A and B are shown apart, each in its own frame.
Chain A
Amino acid sequence: MSTDEHKANINKNTNTDTGISISNNNKTVKKLLLVVIAMFGFGFALVPLYDVFCDITGLNGKTNSTAVAYTASSVDESRTVRVQFITRNAKGIPWAFEPVINEIDVHPGEMKLVSFYAKNNATHDIIGQAVPSVSPGLAANYFHKIECFCFTQQPLAAGKDVEMSLQFYVDLELPTDIKTLTLSYTLYDITEKSS
């Protein structure tokens, strides 16, 4: 085979000319790049999808983030559910933060009012935000907060303390195998974010 012939053959096969196969390659590359972009978008789409999914199924112990009205038709006195309260400070917030009572027995449908104590031990003003979570996660959809300090930000001046209230009821439909609910609050310092 002569050198020229050989080069022509290479060209044909390596797509250095503007033959058919280079446009084929470009087409395939474009399609694949679309997949890449779509999957990059899909990664971000997972964020709202995850929230919607958790809202519907009550996965992950997320409770209602705005107040709901009390709608229970009756109180089921045949059942008793124990509701436990725990608190935790996220990194870097020097507050004393604890439930006034650690646990309470309630009947499904019964409205209860409990309170949490917070004191700003720092020498500067801090805005706190408590984020609730219910365990077991599937119970989250059956735990309704009528009034909660976690719905709003909590500004506390240096050295000041406050009692914050939580009003809630447990849904009548709560699955019968759930006997104990744990409501956990994590307290975050959001002074910087809210200013």
Chain B
Amino acid sequence: MTTDVIEQDSHDEHHDEHKMTGIKRWLYTTNHKDIGTLYLWFAFIMFLTGGALAMVIRAELFQPGLQIVEPDFFNQLTTVHGLIMVFGAIMPAFTGFANWMLPMMLGAPDMALPRMNNWSFWILPFAFAILLGSFFMESGAPNFGWTFYAPLSTTYSNGSTAFFVFAVHIMGISSIMGAINIVVTIMNMRAPGMTYMKMPLFVWTFFITAYLLIAVMPVLAGVVTMLLTDTYFGTSFFDAAGGGDPVMFQHIFWFFGHPEVYIMILPAFGIVSTIIPAFSRKRLFGYSSMVYATSSIALLSFIVWAHHMFTTGMPLFGELFFMYCTMLIAVPTGVKVFNWVATMWRGSLSFETPMLFSIAFVILFTIGGFSGLMLAMTPVDFQYHDTYFVVAHFHYVLVTGSLFSIYAGAYFWLPKWTGHMYNDSLSKWHFWCSLISVNLLFFPMHFLGLAGMPRRIPDYALQFADFNKWVSIGGFAFGLSQLIFLAVVIKCIRGGEKAPAKPWDGAIGLEWTVASPAPYHTFSTPPPQQDIDNANQHEH
């Protein structure tokens, strides 16, 4: 391996001469690693922005009564917080991982469509400039919830619908281009000898996620277009006066929306499935079953959307159908959780920061999964619907699920990206502060929801005051803890202990056969078959 690494290094120097400098390097880049970096930084900036909005929300909810913001502005905060975290933080972060890691894991020199790759990133800042810019306009930012139900977003819109729709269109185009790029890369750019079932599970999860994106982002584009014409051009898709139906909005929206939530969690499964075997010093337990489980989750995600709408007055048959289909998803998800546990079983575990985040992911994501199972049951959903129980559920799967996996992945590959080891004790501080505060933040929300506190409301009844105080304290602590991560990353880029090509002794994968930091161009010649065979995740 050593000779290869040296060879890559010399190529690196050679190609560095062709790199543009300054801002042009980043504006014109078609290099998958540069674009991956751009995506990751963009996602982190958006994460801090969306987080800042959440801090204002939690400050308002610290005490009962209205203290800091007007109810209408509170609605804008919850709406934009949701939109930014979904479309601006989690999704671009995963696209960043895909860009950085897929070519290296597949033994490919770059993504298949590098110019489109550049474009798909650079339209994103404009989308979020439009969305955030609407805060400074007379009408204010979107205030109808990230789910933008009609007629809240049509008849009762505060005038921000057009900005919202165009922002979503641009985000959608960006996601679709990113997804097409991922699919084409995986289908056509695999190194010779890397068959589909030899691909790392990480690659599989992104492959399936990209297909989901290609299937549902156009539906989102369609539904926001209908919203636009309903609001400004006199159509009546969702307007009962003109023969339309507002409930139909929810059907079309959730036909997009439910696969969307798997778009935000399947890549997390891929990341965790890479990290847990590495620090258990074992191969992934049940690789094939993981591939099939991921595919079944993706397929099932298309036939469960109406579980978001149990209270719209569906007939009993519909409620039963969607309830059983939803509960069925627990089966492939359970396969995954048990496979991760089985991977750790009798492994030589060590608890580096990526592993800590991954184990926290498995436990806390499972809690989020269980509350999801409770929500799937139609009769009890009537009580939980639109309460803080739902808020607790989706924050457990998105924050301690998706976000924790992103942190795990970031710590795991930071040495590969920067060439330096991160500061270990600072990263442990980040983990433990995050872990404690995130549970203080989201766990009491379950009880608030069960006791009947509705979501998206800036005030609450007095009996919820104590829990809300603790939740807010957890929120502020969690927000501050994320700044530790920023410090770790900056320190790691600037310097630190030099990272070897493979800093984790249990890690497998082609990305560890190249030097750290990864040279600007990798695998301009395909890797040898021996490396590909060593990198596959099947148990021996």
The smallest beta-carbon distance between B243 and chain A, in angstroms, is: 8
- Residues from chain B with Cβ under 8 Å of A51 in the complex: 245
**Minimum CB–CB distance for B140 against chain A, Å:** 19
Contacts of A38 in B (CB 8 A): 218
The interface stretch among A29-37, A76-84, A109-117 is: A29-37
Return the CB mask of A52-85 against B: 1 if under 8 Å, else 0.
Answer: 0010010111100100000000000000000000
A29-B184, A32-B184, A39-B218 given; A50·B315 CB < 8 A? no
Interface string of B170-189 (1 = CB under 8 A from A): 00000010001001100111
* Chain B contacts for A46, CB-based, 8 A: 219, 248, 251-252, 255
Contact in complex: A25, B112 (CB < 8 Å): yes
Q: Are B112 and A3 in contact (CB under 8 A)?
A: no
Q: A28 at the A/B interface (Cβ < 8 Å)? A: yes
Contacts of B221 in A (CB 8 A): 40, 43
Q: Name the segment of B193-201, B283-291, B401-409, B518-526 touching the other chain.
A: B518-526
Interface residues of B in 201-224 (CB under 8 A from A): 214-223
Query: Does A102 make an interface contact (CB < 8 A)?
Result: no
Contact across chains for B234 and A193 when beta carbons are under 8 A apart: yes
Whether the Cβ atoms of B113 and A29 lie closer than 8 Å is yes
User: In the complex, are the beta carbons of B156 and A91 less than 8 A apart?
Assistant: yes
For the complex, is B119 an interface residue (Cβ under 8 Å from A)? no
A9 at the interface (CB under 8 A from B): yes
Say yes or no for A87: interface residue by CB 8 A criterion. no
Query: Per DSSP, are chain A's interface residues mostly helix, strand or loop, or mixed?
Result: helix
Judge whether A50 and B245 touch: CB under 8 Å.
yes
Let me know if B11 is at the binding interface, CB within 8 A. Answer: yes
B14 and A3 contacting across the interface, CB-CB below 8 Å:
yes
B67 contact set on A, CB distance < 8 A: none
Stretch at the interface among A118-126, A133-141, A155-163, A166-174: A133-141
Q: Shortest beta-carbon distance, A121 to chain B, in Å?
A: 19
Q: How far apart sit A90 and B239, CA to CA, in the bound complex (Å)?
A: 11
List chain A residues, Cβ under 8 A from B241. 90, 129, 131, 186, 188-190, 193
Q: Is the CB of B524 within 8 A of A37?
A: no
- Partner of A43 from the list B247, B252, B523 (CB cut-off 8 Å) is B252
A-B contact count (CB 8 A): 124
Q: List CB contacts (< 8 Å) of A1-48 with chain B.
A: 1, 3, 6, 9-10, 13-15, 21, 24-25, 28-29, 32-33, 35-40, 42-44, 46-47
Give a binary string over B236-267; 1 marks a CB under 8 Å from any A CB, 0 the rest: 01001111010110011001000000000000
B509 within 8 A of partner (CB): no
B108 at the interface (CB under 8 A from A): yes
CA of A106 to CA of B150 in the docked complex: distance in angstroms? 36
Asked if B109 CB lies within 8 Å of chain A CBs, one says yes
Chain A positions within 8 Å of B215 at CB level: 35, 39
Given A46-B252, A61-B313, A13:B109 Cβ within 8 A: yes
**Interchain CB contact under 8 A, B180 and A37:** no
- The reply to whether A59 and B314 form a contact with Cβ atoms under 8 Å apart is yes
Question: Which B residues between 407 and 436 are near A, CB-CB below 8 angstroms?
Answer: none
B70 within 8 A of A: no
CB-CB nearest in chain B for A26: B184
Report A-chain residues with C-beta under 8 Å of the C-beta of B237.
47
**Chain B contacts for A189, CB-based, 8 A:** 241
Closest 9 interchain pairs by CB? A43-B222, A188-B241, A40-B218, A39-B218, A43-B219, A13-B109, A10-B524, A131-B240, A28-B184
15 contacts between A and B (CB under 8 A): A1-B525, A14-B110, A14-B114, A25-B188, A35-B215, A36-B180, A36-B217, A39-B218, A43-B255, A46-B251, A59-B315, A59-B318, A138-B315, A188-B241, A193-B234
